[in-house]
Each structure stands twice: as C-alpha cells, then as structure tokens.
Amino acid sequence: MGWPLSSIITNGLQGLASQFNNLRSDALRPLHSKLNNSGSVLDEGSVVVYDFSAANAFKTTTIQGDPSICGIVISSSIAAGASGYLARDGNQLVKVTGVVTAGNRLIASSTPGYAMDSGRTQRGATGDIGIATTGHAGSGTGTVYADLDIHPFASSNILQKLPTVTPYANAASQTVHTFSHEVDSGANLLVLRLSHYGTPATSVTYNGVAMTLLSNTYDAYNNDSEIYYLVNPPIGAHDVSITQGSGWCYAYAESYLGANTTSPFRTPLTTVLGTGTSAIALSPVSALLDKVIDIATGDNSAVWAPTGTNQSSEYVNVNSSAHSINCSTKDGTAGNTAMSWSTSSTSRITYIAVAIRGS
C-alpha cells in the first residue's frame, strides 16, 4: 500500500525546507579567511584576536576580556603560518576554560585560544563574544556551543603598534645623528627609544618638529637611555635628527595607532645599576590594553636578553664601543607589568620602562 499523495508532498516539502534552512545557514554564515600568526597550530573553537604585525592575520591572546577578538576558528585546524576560516556569528563550537553556565556571555580568557564565562547574562562585558548555549562543568578546559555576536572593534580606538619600525645604529663619534623613519598611515603617536653616549640629547626632531622627552636616565660611564615622543606626527617618511655630545648613538623608532593623545603614557620607571649587574627588572604601572615598552643601555659588551613572561625583544645591538641598546615590549596587565632582562656576563646599565596608554 503506497503513501497518500498528501503525506508524500508534506514530507517532501518539510525535507526541502530543512535542507534549505541548513544551506541558508551555511551560505549566510560569514566566514573570514585569515593568516594564523600565533606560532602554533589552532584547532576548531579557538578564540583569536587581530595581529596587526602582519597583513590579514590573527594570533591568540593572554588578556582576559581582550576586546580585539576577530573570530572563532571553524576550520578543523590551521597550521602556524597557514590561512583558515573564522566565524563571527552563528552557533559555533568554542573552546573554554573553567565553569561555563549556559545562558551566560563569554569573553576571552587569559589562556591562549580559550574563552571563559563572564558571569553576565546581558551584553556589556569588555570583549563580549556571545552567549553560551551549552555549559561546561569543572575547572579544566573543554568546549561549549555559543551563539556568537562578535563585533570587531573600530581599529582607531584600540592601541596598536604599526608595522614599520626603524632601528638605527652608528658607532661613529659625532654630534648629529640623522636617519629616516616612515610613520604608517593612521598613526597618532611616534615613539623613539634612544641609547647614546653621554648626557641627554640637546635636541630630537622628526621632520623638523621637536619631539618631547618623556624620560631619561644616565650614569657616569656614558650609558644614556631616553624615550621621546610626538603626538600626531606627519605621515610618511621623514628624518629623525638627534643632536648630542660627540659620540655613538643607537635608536629605535616606531609608530602607534589608537594612542591616547591627551596623555599617551603612564608613569615611567627608571633605574641605574653599577658594575657587576647581571639582571634588571622594573614593574611600571599599567592597565589592560596598554603596551609596555622599555630601553636599557649597557656596557662591557654584555649581551642582554628579556626574561619576563610574554616579553618580546624588539631590538638588541652591541656597538664597537662596547655599549648596547636593548628594547622590548609586552602587553599591559592590570596594576603593574613586570619587565626584566638578564645577561650571562656583567655590566653597568641604565634602564627605563613605561606603559603606553591603551585607553
């Protein structure tokens, strides 16, 4: 006995509707192909943030509530240096750590690649990812499903170091040192870290405009560390000119987007350490979304290396006069951010560390 025609039609239409809804969901789900610049393989459900050091790239974060979320990995896995797909909405698998209650909003955790329960049922937490539709019990890691609602930040409102940087090294003894640095489009802060012979420079300019001295420290052995800055610098390639007492000069120039132009920096810390030093450390005041930078000038040909957790070396060089410049950076944390360096030998050294405001 065959099925009634009405049942065949009804079942057929329902099946077509179901298939259409599935296809529509897949077709309308916004997928974003980006480069995995995290340095490791990331699998489905990983939480990632923008990485502006490379074009169209992402990385993981250790900042709880990081607002720069760019999506959730939906590819089965993305190798380091390869491209894969991210989603910003739809019901997706999300890797989580700690207890997650279904119905609560998710934010990035401090565990790279994972989200956590924000403790909120309503939108409003910084870096909100979406609402968990399933839960996770226990203190370890796992996965949940979540209705994503990721709105990438307006890039001009988040502090970002821009790609073009210029290291400068000149061991020659001279009173004026000049080099070209290109300020990237959109930058609103130029920062210059300066390591040179003798007492502080008498003049530092960019495109003929005087830069402001933020902090300096020096010792009796001609190890001088300084940080200069310029708000809303001219865009494009222009000369940095440094006038000083006759001697060597090393420098590192960089530009930022999204800086607080009214008060770009928090309080800098400085220290001067004498003969026999093999380790240095400072913990400047900072906040989430800040970028903490430092500069150390040493002598005795000592080669220094950053030792702080998640502290990245930016520029290290030892000149022929047995002096060195040592620059690094680290994402700011709430309260203070620990910065440190060490060397296998010993040295005299001057050191500055400061947070660039992220808000």
Are 298 and 280 within 8 A, CB to CB? Answer: no
pLDDT of amino acid 152: 60
Number of H helices, E strands in the chain: 1, 28
Are 351 and 326 within 8 A, CB to CB? Answer: no
pLDDT of amino acid 195: 94
**Mean pLDDT score across all residues of the chain:** 87
Q: Which residue numbers in the chain have pLDDT < 50?
A: 1, 8, 13, 15-29, 154-156
**Tens-digit pLDDT profile for residues 166-180:** 999 998 889 999 999
User: pTM here?
Assistant: 0.63
Are 165 and 314 within 8 A, CB to CB? Answer: yes
Q: Which of 160, 355, 194 is nearest to 263 (CA)?
A: 355
Compute the 3-state secondary structure of the chain and give helix, strand, coil in percent, each to the nearest 5: 10, 55, 40
**Measured between alpha carbons, how far is 113 from 41 in angstroms, rounded to an integer?**
11
Instruction: Name the residue type at position 73.
Output: V
pLDDT of amino acid 19: 43
pLDDT of amino acid 198: 78
pLDDT of amino acid 252: 98
CA 53 to chain centre: 9
**Measured between alpha carbons, how far is 79 from 216 in angstroms, rounded to an integer?**
43
**Measured between alpha carbons, how far is 151 from 128 in angstroms, rounded to an integer?**
9
Q: Which residues of 118-143 are buried (b: 16+ CB within 10 A; e: fewer)?
A: beeeeeebebbbbbbebbbeeeeebb
pLDDT of amino acid 197: 84
Output the CATH code of domain 5-153. 2.40.300.10
**Tens-digit pLDDT profile for residues 184-220:** 888 899 999 999 887 789 999 999 999 999 999 999 8
Percent of the chain with pLDDT over 90: 60
Domain chopping of the chain, boundaries: 5-153, 160-356
**Tens-digit pLDDT profile for residues 102-115:** 999 999 998 999 99
